[in-house]
Amino acid sequence: MEKLILFVDDSPTMRSSVTFCLRNAGYRVTEAEDGVDGLDKLQSIKNEDQPLALIITDINMPRMDGITFITKVKETEFKFIPILVLSTESEESMIEQGRAAGASGWLLKPFQPEQLLWAVKKVVWPK
Ligand SMILES: [Mg+2]
């Protein structure tokens, strides 16, 4: 079965381009529009007992930002799922916050498909 990735971003354009890129590479993708929605989607993934391979999240989002989202994910049974950040934020202090919250990697927008897929492969375990 294809590996499932949860992608969290408030920009519909970003969601469609990243989802397109990941699906083309053979991954399944569930989208969420912010941290609150991301936690809801994790609940559905848990209820449906789907194995989740990776979470990719934006930082700047309404309702719940990416740092808070990562912190909350780390309090759930999904705490061992790797989390990549995909953000326009390049400030060292923000990246440090992401690292401290438990992110496994940080990618900058605009994303390059090859770079994104390389990072995804690095943190997603083979079958
Ligand atoms: Mg955003």
Is the pLDDT assigned to residue 71 strictly greater than 60?
yes
What is the pTM (predicted TM-score) of this model?
0.96
What CATH number has the domain bearing residue 103?
Answer: 3.40.50.2300
Q: What does the angle CA 46 – CA 52 – CA 53 come to, to the nearest 5 degrees?
A: 165
Q: How confident is the model at residue 95 (pLDDT cuts 50, 70, 90)?
A: very high
Q: Which pair of tokens denotes residue 25?
A: 């590479």
Ligand 1 centre distance from Cα of residue 57 (Å): 9
Please give, one letter per residue, the 3-state secondary structure of the chain.
Answer: CCCEEEEECCCHHHHHHHHHHHHHCCCEEEEECCHHHHHHHHHHHHHCCCCEEEEEECCCCCCCCHHHHHHHHCCCCCCCCCEEEEECCCCHHHHHHHHHHCCCEEEECCCCHHHHHHHHHHHCCCC
| Neighbouring C-alpha atoms within 13 Å toward the C-beta of 62 | 3
Range of the domain at 53: 4-123
Ligand 1 centre distance from Cα of residue 1 (Å): 30
Convert the pLDDT of each residue in 4-43 to its tens digit: 999 999 999 999 999 999 999 999 999 999 999 999 999 9
CB-based neighbours (< 5 A) of ligand 1, an ion = 10, 58, 60-61
Ligand 1 centre distance from Cα of residue 46 (Å): 25
Q: How many structural domains comprise the chain?
A: 1
Ligand 1 centre distance from Cα of residue 27 (Å): 22
As a whole number, the mean pLDDT across the chain is: 96
Which residue type is seen at 50?
A: Q
Ligand 1 centre distance from Cα of residue 11 (Å): 6
Ligand 1 centre distance from Cα of residue 121 (Å): 24
